[in-house]
Amino acid sequence: MKKGRVMSIRVITLACLLAVGPWVYGQTQMASVLTAQDAHEITQLYATMYQGSDFRDSELWLSTFSDDGVFIFPTGDEVAGKQALAEWREKSFGGQTGDSKRRHYFPNIRMVQTPDGGATARAYWVELDVSGQQAAIRNTGTADDVFVKTSAGWKFKSHAVHLDATTN
């Protein structure tokens, strides 16, 4: 009688593991999917970064990076860390403020959740020159990005810019 009871407990335990195991696994998998809110916030980072650039607002531009964020140029050169990013951005504006008459547009952004809770993205971009009577394409390219979620929301951990070809 005791043997039968032990066997029944083992069978019930195994059945419970088989029933609950896939559900638990599914819950951990679902937790690693970007939510619509995450995707929206990351999309807003692109808008914030490039409005900061196009309207020469270095604080707005800088607000999109994590403290150890890195900007990677098409040449492969890098600027890393908030202080260096702030200095480079100020220097790149050359003391000018206001509208640069450039417009960056990011029409296609493909985001992927990473196992560590961050995200990566590849985005197409178009830079328009709006200084004349008609807007003209100045450059096009892609960006490869890594994002981290901080207490202040999503931030660029790295933003790598690639040019398709220079049109100016």
Helix (H) or strand (E) holding 129: strand 119-129
CB 130 within 8 A of CB 101: yes
pLDDT at 4: 60
pLDDT at 31: 45
pLDDT at 165: 84
Ranges of the chain whose pLDDT falls below 70: 1-32, 166-168
pTM, two decimal places: 0.78
Residue 117 CB contacts under 8 Å (≥ 6 apart), including other chains: 32, 149
Residue 24 CB contacts under 8 Å (≥ 6 apart), including other chains: none
The CATH class of the 34-166 domain is: alpha beta
Q: What is the pLDDT of residues 90-130, one digit of tens each?
A: 999 999 999 999 999 999 999 999 999 999 999 999 999 99
**Parallel/antiparallel/unpaired status of strands 65-72 and 153-166:** parallel
DSSP string, 41-107: HHHHHHHHHHHHHHTT-HHHHHTTEEEEEEEE-TTS-EEESHHHHHHHHHHHHTT--S--SEEEE--
Q: How far apart are CA 132 and CA 1, in angstroms?
A: 93
